[in-house]
Amino acid sequence: MMTQTSAWQTLAQYYQQSGKSLDTRQLFADDLDRFNRFSLSAADLFFDFSKHRIDDQAFKLLLQLAETCHLSEKIDAMFSGAAINVSENRPVLHTALRCPADKTLDIDGEDIIPAIHKVLAQMRHFSEQLRAGHYVGATGKAITDVVNISIGGSHLGPQMLYESLKAYSDNTLRCHFVSNIDATDIVTTLAPLNPETTLFIIGSKSFTTIETLVNANSAKQWLCAALGDQAFSKHFVALSSNPQAAAAFGIAETRIFPFWSWVGGRYSVWSSIGLIVMLAIGADHFDQLLAGAFAMDQHFRQTDFDKNMPVIMALLGIWYHNFFAAETHAVVCYDQYLQLFPRYLQQLDMESNGKSVRENGQSVTSSTGPIIWGDCGTNSQHSFHQLLHQGTHLVPIDFILAANSLHPLGQHHQLLLANALAQSQALLMGKNETQAYEELIAAGMSATQAKTLAAHKVMPGNRPSSTIMMEKLTPYTLGALIAAYEHKVFVQGVIWGIDSFDQWGVELGKVLAKNILPQLTDHNTTAKHDASTQGLINYCRSRYSQ
């Protein structure tokens, strides 16, 4: 167990003796080169981690922890296709999805790269036909709207990318996303659309996911009620690793875009699940997205840990979560296009590392999986930043921003940048009571009033943050950014000794829902439930009307 290793114990001892009292402000005062030494560039991203509560010794011990858990070997195992998803006995090869065509990767005696690029070529051809208006609906009209029906990673990933890369869309197609089983989601989405010009993308790895299939059937009924059953095949495509089930649903074989069992849902946007993204931004921009992720893959795989962006991101998270007992981690994007990125990271991180069982089936001996949350700046400054600056919780923060805007309104972006940099500075430097008092006196307040109010204006500072910057938000830099966080999550899972690529916690509620469903309308069912759940079923049943 990692917590029993000498590396972990030494780090814990150092935390108690020195680490927990480190003041980053003093570290900057003692080391004028700290910013340069604790920052790095990779794949067109710049990563500043100089504002963290680490000195050279803490950094050294964190790196030793990575070495102790055989991280290099685990990285090689993932990229080479070993079955590192141990509970499902599967390889984890989302990284292969962004490999260039001239690479090779043999899995069970077969090079999988040609098959990946065959699907990418299928996606490109379909995308170009649809965007050019050559692919038409059942009545001969060009498609104007595309509705992506899926859930989980195959919903949130494409939606996040679509929102993040809207500046690269020429609006040839209007894109919509449906995931919730709540009828409100699909009813309100379909209400303004024209069946003649609407295409549906059904994304489901197994093609058995109940939420997706119920929504898909509602979409099918909506379309066929307007255009007739014969119109169905022209208006539906499928993305699945179970093409037989997609075909049984009625989708034509030529309109099924496959992916593979070794692609996890929250890592699937690089596969055919990203079709709606390609439709929105074009195949060339989608290629740049893959290229940025591949560049980060290469950096992660080839760079020494002390200059390795995802590794350092992961180790800093371990430092705060396991030693400072920071239970949450905030992500604040100073870019409106990235408004869904924190929510995307919630799933990536919390579904991957929200585990209490190690790979060997034994209970974990340390806390795992911090709570991930966040929003866009500057909106977040007027909501939860109060807690970040003066609250009792230690919350490490990632600030994400671009040096240049994608829009010509320069004064907006200058103010945005100033706010982002000011927030990280304020969290670091804080304000003591003497400073607050002197500012109030200088503003004309009496000494008595200033003394009373000064305590309320104290901000302790020494609160850690990372800043990730790029020149511009592009498909390439976004691909690199997503890949960096993917690898960060993987590294933390390795250190905690858990399987980051299963999600059994998602399954139990889905199974129980199937048992409850018939009882909502049938008084004669006999399934047993706890008293509270049975009481709620009885309440719903007495008031539910079809």
Q: Which residues pair with 437 in a beta bridge?
A: none
Q: Cα separation of 324 and 335, whole Å?
A: 30
Q: From CA 91, how far away is CA 84, in angstroms rounded? A: 6
Is 382 noted as a catalytic residue in this protein? Answer: yes
* Beta carbons within 8 Å of 240's beta carbon, 6+ residues apart: 202, 203, 204, 205, 206, 207, 246, 256, 257, 258, 259
- The C-alpha atoms of residue 383 and residue 142 are separated, in whole angstroms, by 44
Report the side by side order of strands in the sheet with 174-178.
174-178, 145-149, 198-203, 236-240, 256-258
Catalytic residue among 382, 456, 514, 528: 382
d(CA 85, CA 333): 31
What is the gyration radius of the CA atoms in the chain, in angstroms?
Answer: 26
For tokens 């000195």, what's the residue? 55
The one-letter code for the residue type at 181 is I
CB 328 within 8 A of CB 317: no
Buried b or exposed e, range 284-315, using 16+ CB within 10 angstroms: ebbbbbbbbbbbbbebbeeeebeebbbbbbbb
d(CA 107, CA 80): 8
Which of left, alpha, beta for 540 (phi over 0: left; psi -120 to 50: alpha)? alpha
Answer for the pair 400, 340: CB distance below 8 angstroms, yes or no: no
Q: Which residue has the tokens 């396991």?
A: 322
Cα–Cα distance, 330 to 398 (Å, whole number)? 6
Name the active-site residue from 163, 196, 211, 351: 351
The DSSP line for 313-337 is HHHHHHIIIIIS---EEEEEEE-GG
Cβ neighbours of residue 164 under 8 Å, at least 6 residues apart?
Answer: 337, 338, 340, 341, 473, 478
Q: Would you call 134 a catalytic residue per the annotation? A: no
C-alpha 160/C-alpha 338 separation (Å) is 8
- Cα distances (Å, whole numbers) of residue 155 to 185, 237, 383: 13, 15, 27
Q: Which long-range contacts (CB under 8 A, 24 or more apart) does 36-41 make?
A: 40/307, 40/309, 40/312
3-state secondary structure of 353: helix
510 is catalytic: yes
Q: Return d(Cα 343, Cα 96) in angstroms, integer.
A: 25
d(CA 522, CA 122): 47
- Catalytically active residues are 351, 382, 510
